[in-house]
Amino acid sequence: MSNINVANFRRWDYVKITILGFATTALWQSLHSIILPQRLLDFVPEAQKNTYLGIITLCGLLLAMFAQPIAGAISDRSTFKWGRRRPYIFWGMIISILLLPGFALAGSFAAIFVVYCLLQVAANTAQGPYQAFLPEMVPEKKRGMASGFRSLFELTGGVGFVLFAGWNDLTFPLHGLIQGNYIRAFLNKYLKDKTFYDIQRPLKIVACDCLTMRQVVFDSGRLIDAVMASVSIPGVFQPYKIADHYYIDGGILNPLPTDVLVDAGARKIIAVNVLPSPEEIERTRELITKRALLEAARRSPFKKAVSLIQHKQEGFLKPNIFDVIVSSVQSMEYALAQLSSLSQSDVTLHPDMTAMFWSAFDHAPDLIKRGEEETLLHLSQIKELVARSE
């Protein structure tokens, strides 16, 4: 029972009793929205990421349903000197903190699954007694206000922490939806401080000056800056700043920049167009539907329930703002690339882009294989071009 009277319970106490709720909500929101989706990609194909995420979260919810009321009920009968609730809250959160590095150290999906389940048990062992702890600490006349503070802090913990700490690549949409920090970090692992001088073959990277709308060709300076400027899809990524200039994807003006090679003196041009055609996009949709039906037929009732939840979520989010912007840009770029390939390239290769999406950064081996297959189909043309005298 509460021994605190109304006079002794002050404004700052509203905050103190809700800090744990803020922290746990921030933990779960960042874990489900940021950490797990990223780590799962290290062990499962991107197409199956949401399925595995659904399995993990569903198992976690089942564990929480049992762990929280059991811990709360046990704390009701406890008689510790420190209080009947505090030891469960303290040790539950300590164990939760100790488990967090496991997500970074895990070397398999099974390891992530085990760490996540243990975290659910530990965190909910603290959460159950915490739910009962609040009424015992707050005077009866102030419990309504305390409940409101708690709800507010949990909401800000879920939304605010994710936006601040996890989605630091999102930006206020004045210039674009994404800053590009994650892509830059990815590129930095391979390019580091290398410049155009460090590569063995001549390379030119095309971007577009956002303010003058003129094509800019990078052939000197740091590679990472040139690549970042070239991949900044307008609307999705904010323009990439170099000195006093802002750059966006060069494909807006010239998606297949064969003219750059002509100006550089190239006399034999092999162009590679990797923009998906309308036919390939339609085949992708049909393939996804067919795969979903086949997988649904083989799933157990448990996996069917997970799949249904996943399907409802994806149906609500599709097409999202990223898909709308990228599809609009790629439709225009595909038409421009077709014209460019007809006018200035000697041989044009178009690998099959079925089931390839604009965000498929982890499909490099498959894309290389498709490029090799397309090259073999046009090998005779390429040989004739190479043998042709000028």
How far is residue 326's CA from residue 178's CA, in Å, rounded to a whole number? 13
Q: Name, of 16-30, 98-112, 306-320, the range with top average pLDDT.
A: 98-112
Q: In what order do the strands lie in the sheet with 215-218?
A: 215-218, 205-209, 245-249, 240-242
Residues 6-15: contacts with CB under 8 Å, at least 24 apart = 6/139, 6/141, 6/142, 9/138, 9/139, 9/142, 13/138, 14/145, 14/146, 14/149, 15/149, 15/153
**What single-letter amino acid sits at 326?**
V
Provide the mean pLDDT of the chain: 78
How far is residue 336's CA from residue 251's CA, in Å, rounded to a whole number? 9
The answer to whether residue 336 scores a pLDDT higher than 80 is no
**What single-letter amino acid sits at 300?**
S
Using alpha carbons only, give the angle 59, 61, 67 rounded to the nearest 5 degrees: 105
Question: DSSP state, 175?
Answer: S
Band the pLDDT of 316: cuts 50, 70, 90: very low
CA 285 to chain centre: 22
| 216, β-bridge pairs | 207
Return the closest-CA partner of residue 38 out of 101, 104, 99.
104
pLDDT tens for 222-277 read 999 999 999 888 877 889 999 989 999 988 888 888 889 989 899 899 999 888 88
